[in-house]
């Protein structure tokens, strides 16, 4: 079984022009992109590689590790709590 990686970056939620901070736990970049494309505005692998990375933020890692393959976002990059985007 592959190790879960926690990716973080900025992207748009569907029907919203503003970019928000997002995190997702997935075993590969490809799987992360698939999940993002299922629940948000489309992202390409190139955009993902350019603007997303594995996060080392303890709070983000803990949240995404406890709910693998769930996309979380927050509207304020620094102060607000993360919201689950997919059930």
d(CA 43, CA 33): 7
d(CA 9, CA 44): 13
The structure tokens listed for 19 are 């970019």
d(CA 5, CA 35): 14
pLDDT tens per residue across span 22-68: 999 999 999 999 999 998 889 999 999 999 999 999 999 999 999 99
Pick 68 or 87 by higher pLDDT: 68
Task: Specify the pTM.
Answer: 0.89
The answer to whether 74 touches 66, Cβ cutoff 8 Å, is no
Is the pLDDT assigned to residue 70 strictly greater than 90?
A: yes
Predicted pLDDT of residue 53: 97
């Amino acid at each position: 079984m592959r190790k879960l990686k926690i990716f973080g970056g900025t992207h748009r939620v569907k029907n919203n022009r503003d970019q928000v901070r997002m995190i997702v736990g997935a075993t590969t970049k490809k799987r992360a992109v698939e999940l993002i494309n299922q629940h948000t505005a489309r992202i390409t692998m190139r955009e993902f590689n350019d603007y997303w990375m594995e996060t080392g933020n303890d709070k983000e890692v803990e949240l995404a590790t406890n709910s693998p393959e769930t996309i979380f976002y927050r509207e304020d990059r620094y102060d607000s709590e993360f919201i689950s985007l997919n059930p």
